[in-house]
Structure 1
Amino acid sequence: MLVILGFLWLIWRLRTPLSWIVIAMFIAVALSGPVNLMSRKLPRGLAILFAYLGLVLIPIGIAAIVVPPLVREATNLANDVPGYVQDLQRWVNDNDRLKELDREYNIVDRLRERAEELPTHLDDAAGTLSDVGGTIVGSLFAAFNILILSIFMVASGRRWIDRAIDFARPEHAPRIRRAVERIATAVGNYVGGALLQATIAGVTTFIVLTILGVPFAAPLAVLTALFDLIPLVGATIGAILVALVTVFHDFPVATIVWLIWAVAYQQIENTMIQPQIQRRAVEVHAFVVLVSVLFGATLFGVLGALLAIPVAASIQIAIREWWDYRRTSAIELPPGVDPPPRPDNPDEPPARLDLPPA
Structure 2
Amino acid sequence: MNAERPTLAAAARFSGRCLLITGLVFVLGYIISRLPLIFLSVFVSLLFTSLLHPVADWLARHRVPRSLAALATVLLSVALIGGLFAWIVPKTAAELSASSDTLARRAQSLARSFMQLLPGEQPTLDELGGRAEQWVRQHSQMLTSGAAAGAATLLSVLSGMLLTLVLTFFFVRDGSTLVRTTLSLLSPERRRLAGAALDRAWRTLGGWVRGTVVVALIDAVGIGVGLLILGVPLALPIALLTFLSAFVPVVGAVLAGAVAVLIAWATQGTQDALITLGIVLAIQQLESNVLQPIVMGRVLPLHPAVVLLAVTAGALVAGIAGAFVSVPLLAAVTAGGQALFEKGHKPPRSDDSPPVEPEDMDEQLPVHH
Query: What is the TM-score with the length of structure 1 in the denominator?
Result: 0.71
Indicate the larger mover: 60-69 or 214-223. Answer: 60-69
Amino acid at match of 1:240: A
Could you list the runs of 5+ residues in structure 2 that have no partner in the other structure?
A: 1-22, 110-120, 133-142, 354-369
Pairs within 5 Å for 1:105-124:
107=124, 110=127
What corresponds to 2:270 in structure 1?
252
Aligned residue for 1:282, secondary structure, equals coil
What corresponds to 1:178 in structure 2?
196
Once the 2 structures are TM-superposed, how far is the Cα of residue 130 of structure 1 from its aligned partner? 7.9
Q: Find out whether 1:60 has 2:78 as its counterpart.
A: no
**2:129 and 2:32 mapped to 1: Cα distance?**
55
What corresponds to 1:146 in structure 2?
164
Once the 2 structures are TM-superposed, how far is the Cα of residue 12 of structure 1 from its aligned partner? 5.3
Amino acid at match of 1:27: F
Amino acid at match of 1:296: G
**1:39 and 1:214 mapped to 2: Cα distance?**
45
**2:127 and 2:312 mapped to 1: Cα distance?**
45
Q: Find out whether 1:40 has 2:61 as its counterpart.
A: yes
Kept after mapping to 2: 8 A contact 1:35/1:51: yes
Could you list the runs of 5+ residues in structure 1 that have no partner in the other structure?
A: 89-103, 116-124, 339-358
**1:310 and 1:318 mapped to 2: Cα distance?**
12
What corresponds to 2:222 in structure 1?
204
Query: What is the TM-score with the length of structure 2 in the denominator?
Result: 0.69
Kept after mapping to 2: 8 A contact 1:65/1:218: no
Pairs within 5 Å for 1:9-48:
13-41=34-62, 42-48=64-70
**2:98 and 2:277 mapped to 1: Cα distance?**
28
Aligned residue for 1:299, secondary structure, equals helix
Pairs within 5 Å for 1:230-249:
230-249=248-267
Amino acid at match of 1:203: V
> Could you say which structure has the greater relative contact order, defined with CA pairs below 8 angstroms and 6 or more residues apart?
2
Deviations along 1:23-76, whole A, 9 cap, x unmatched? 333333342233223433343333322321243235434533554355456667
Once the 2 structures are TM-superposed, how far is the Cα of residue 109 of structure 1 from its aligned partner? 5.8
Distance 1:132 1:62, change over 3 A: farther
Amino acid at match of 2:259: L
What corresponds to 2:138 in structure 1?
none
**2:274 and 2:247 mapped to 1: Cα distance?**
25
What corresponds to 1:310 in structure 2?
328
**1:298 and 1:314 mapped to 2: Cα distance?**
21
**1:192 and 1:113 mapped to 2: Cα distance?**
51
Kept after mapping to 1: 8 A contact 2:257/2:280: yes
Which of 262, 276, 292 is matched with 2:294 structurally? 276
Pairs within 5 Å for 1:91-110:
107=124, 110=127
What corresponds to 1:348 in structure 2?
none
Which of 245, 252, 256 is matched with 1:227 structurally? 245
**2:239 and 2:226 mapped to 1: Cα distance?**
10
Once the 2 structures are TM-superposed, how far is the Cα of residue 192 of structure 1 from its aligned partner? 1.5
**1:35 and 1:309 mapped to 2: Cα distance?**
27
Identity of aligned residues (%): 26
Amino acid at match of 1:68: P
Amino acid at match of 1:64: A
Deviations along 1:260-295, whole A, 9 cap, x unmatched? 221111111112122222244322222332232222
Kept after mapping to 1: 8 A contact 2:219/2:243: yes
Amino acid at match of 1:63: F
How many pairs align? Answer: 310
Q: Find out whether 1:50 has 2:72 as its counterpart.
A: yes
Amino acid at match of 2:156: G
Aligned residue for 1:284, secondary structure, equals coil
**2:258 and 2:122 mapped to 1: Cα distance?**
36
Pairs within 5 Å for 1:332-347:
none
Aligned residue for 2:61, secondary structure, equals coil
**1:200 and 1:228 mapped to 2: Cα distance?**
10
Kept after mapping to 2: 8 A contact 1:293/1:304: yes
Distance 1:274 1:20, change over 3 A: same
Aligned residue for 1:183, secondary structure, equals helix
Kept after mapping to 2: 8 A contact 1:31/1:51: yes
What corresponds to 2:314 in structure 1?
296
Q: What's the Cα RMSD here?
A: 4.2
Amino acid at match of 2:45: A
**2:92 and 2:48 mapped to 1: Cα distance?**
30
What corresponds to 1:342 in structure 2?
none
Amino acid at match of 1:52: V
**2:331 and 2:262 mapped to 1: Cα distance?**
36
**2:155 and 2:65 mapped to 1: Cα distance?**
34
Kept after mapping to 1: 8 A contact 2:248/2:311: no
Deviations along 1:218-252, whole A, 9 cap, x unmatched? 11211222222210121122111111111123333
Amino acid at match of 2:44: I
Once the 2 structures are TM-superposed, how far is the Cα of residue 300 of structure 1 from its aligned partner? 2.6
Once the 2 structures are TM-superposed, how far is the Cα of residue 195 of structure 1 from its aligned partner? 1.5
